[in-house]
Amino acid sequence: MICNECGAKIEGLTRICPHCGQRALVDDELETWSFIADGSEKHKREMPAEIALNAPAPIPTERTAQIDGLERLKDYFVQHSNLYQVVEDLDYIESGMHRPSFVLWALVGGLIAALVYFPLSPFLPHFVWAYYFVLWGAVTSVGYLRAGRRYERRKAEYELLRRHAENDLRMMYNRCADCFLPLAWTPPPRIIRMIDALRSGEISSVDAYMEREAG
């Protein structure tokens, strides 16, 4: 027997895990009822707290000092470009995740029920048409419920991965000495565009650039 919570093996016939105190399920119970188990709860419990960001340092007043400071920040943050890429990849994956459609599952359930029921209908009494609708409802409900649980589990998994990735990014940002840019402005490509705009005279200061881009 194994524990549904901590995964530890349990000897004997007890249904209470001596390791964590939760109810244990035998292997066949786990298989049978896994479609209604909320697998996302474990990931939610493991979610770490969000790391607070340091306040940005004051922006240098002189234009030359701003360019020099941006060059220094670019050299630092470019060493950690992979952290930005991980967060961006997780954003992309999460944007492609969608809740299952009950309407779609109703159509699938009706089709599966028809494929099972109609070949058998000649051998069944005419008054058991209700069985078709019972089968339709069962297939739809079980399929939709399993798809929903799978979606919630994957969503929780990626939320946990995202929090770890964002915390890694925040820790890296907090280690940067005298950083006068907010975290959102630290990806190296953004810093490079800011340096080019300052050098070309397109904008007069870091503040002016951020205000223009934000507007």
**Residue 192 vs residue 21, higher pLDDT:** 192
Of residues 151 and 21, which shows the higher confidence score?
151
Helices (H) and strands (E) in the chain, counts: 8, 2
Type of residue at 183: L
Q: What SS3 class is residue 68?
A: helix
Both tokens assigned to 12: 């004997």
How confident is the model over 96-145, as pLDDT tens digits? 888 888 888 889 888 888 888 777 766 666 656 677 788 888 888 888 88
Task: Count the neighbouring beta carbons within 10 Å of the beta carbon of residue 44.
Answer: 12
Tell me the pLDDT of the chain averaged across its residues. 81
CA-to-CA separations, 102 to 69, 109, 115, in angstroms, rounded: 54, 10, 20
Predicted confidence at residue 20, as pLDDT, reads 66
pLDDT at 17 over 90: no
pLDDT tens digits, residue range 42-73?
Answer: 666 778 899 999 999 999 999 999 999 999 99
For residue 198 the two structure tokens come to 């300052």
- Asked if residue 200 has pLDDT above 90, the reply is yes
Q: Specify the pLDDT at position 47.
A: 83
Task: Locate the domains of the chain by residue range.
Answer: 35-214
End-to-end CA distance of the chain: 61
CA distance 214 to 158: 29
